[in-house]
A = this chain, B = another copy of it.
Amino acid sequence: MNNITICMIGFGNVGKAFARLIDRKAESLALDYDVEIKIVAIATGSHGNAIDPLGIDPNKALLAIEGPGTLNGLSTNPAPSDMREFIALSEADFVIEISPVNYETGEPAITHIRAALQNKMHAVSANKGPVVHAYHELSELAKINGKQFLFESAVMDGAPIFSVFREALPCSDIIGFEGILNSCTNILIEMMEEGSSFNEAVTYAQSIGIAETDPSGDIDGWDASIKVAALATVLMGIPMKPQDVDRKGIRDLTPSAIQQAKNEGKRWKLVCSAELINGKVSAKVAPQLVSPSSPFFSVSGTSSFVLFKSDVLPGLGILESNPGPETTAYGLLADILNILKKEPGNA
């Protein structure tokens, strides 16, 4: 049995879902993958930290952080608040980085992943920040240390976007893609189709946790742009920052324009696109009018969709419908198992 230890940086909805997932999948992991996964360290933003080399019971951890509770009582070893020290002391095989995303700098997630790799631990992340701000540095660092840095859940949750090209589609060159990658604007537009004003739609989206207190990251197309940049950087091999994307949000999309589209049987969607032209990527995020004959028309609610064009497959679309913290958590588990299968002895 391959005993794998995990250090979790972040224990919000995705972290909790991951703890439940490895508990639910324990039997299949043992029987089909000969793996036992044990969480030995958890760091949180406001619920304390814990390290226990013998393993932290996920159910006890979930219980401990209810309300204002902390993990501190579960720690058998010193659990420093400096994350570099915390990661080093965890002595885990994998660091799972799921701290909140920082669109502008990618920090402190980049520091966490760097610390993991420097300590000869694999790094798995659901965080877009490190992908757009430090993909090449971290991948190189992983290589030098004989470890891997994967981040399937950074775009479209657990849907296989990075892994399908890395693991299943060898010898293919992506020459462009188009997609709908931001749920919040998708939902805001749908509410305006149903008659809400822009402000009513935003207020509702905030009330159900789909929009942030400052919703500009979604509305102005920054979230979509960072996803486009992440896809272009990794899948097309060309470093790209969100600022490089020709970006237009949905702020100028009026309810009357949306109603008019509806009357014509069409819909507005915030469409992302990227195309390789003469070795450079030209990328764009902008509202686009789509008709029912487009695969974008039916992408509703929190679903997302991306259509890739490559030199070998003229159109390969991947749709994720009904995602949740559980699907993001699965993306983390898939990364772990995909890393393990490439370890020596698991060919």
Interface string of A194-229 (1 = CB under 8 A from B): 000000000000000000000000000000000000
Docked-complex contact B327 and A314, CB < 8 angstroms = yes
> Please, which residues of chain B bring their CB within 8 A of the CB of A288?
none
Partner of A313, one of B330, B342, B344: B330
> Please, which residues of chain B bring their CB within 8 A of the CB of A303?
315
Interface residues on A, range: 35 or more
Q: How far is B86's CA from A277's CA once the two chains are assembled, in angstroms?
A: 47
Given A164-B160, A317-B317, A317-B321, answer yes or no on A298-B307 (Cβ-Cβ < 8 Å): no
Residue A292 at the chain B interface, CB threshold 8 Å: yes
Question: Nearest Cβ distance between residue A70 and chain B, in whole angstroms?
Answer: 30
> Please, which residues of chain B bring their CB within 8 A of the CB of A68?
none
> Please, which residues of chain B bring their CB within 8 A of the CB of A28?
171
Docked-complex contact A337 and B295, CB < 8 angstroms = no
Docked-complex contact A298 and B295, CB < 8 angstroms = yes
Docked-complex contact B317 and A318, CB < 8 angstroms = yes
Nearest opposing residue in chain B for A336, CB measure = B170
Residue A265 at the chain B interface, CB threshold 8 Å: yes
Residue A32 at the chain B interface, CB threshold 8 Å: yes
Question: Nearest Cβ distance between residue A35 and chain B, in whole angstroms?
Answer: 9
> Please, which residues of chain B bring their CB within 8 A of the CB of A158?
312-313
Best-surrounded residue of A164, A305, A312, A326 (most CB of chain B within 10 A): A312
Partner of A168, one of B25, B160, B171, B305: B160
Residue A333 at the chain B interface, CB threshold 8 Å: yes
Partner of A293, one of B25, B298, B315, B324: B298
Docked-complex contact B321 and A307, CB < 8 angstroms = yes
Nearest opposing residue in chain B for A292, CB measure = B292
Docked-complex contact A338 and B293, CB < 8 angstroms = no
Given A32-B171, A265-B292, A317-B321, answer yes or no on A312-B327 (Cβ-Cβ < 8 Å): yes
Docked-complex contact B170 and A168, CB < 8 angstroms = no
Docked-complex contact A338 and B170, CB < 8 angstroms = yes
Given A25-B171, A321-B307, answer yes or no on A313-B265 (Cβ-Cβ < 8 Å): no
Question: Nearest Cβ distance between residue A73 and chain B, in whole angstroms?
Answer: 32
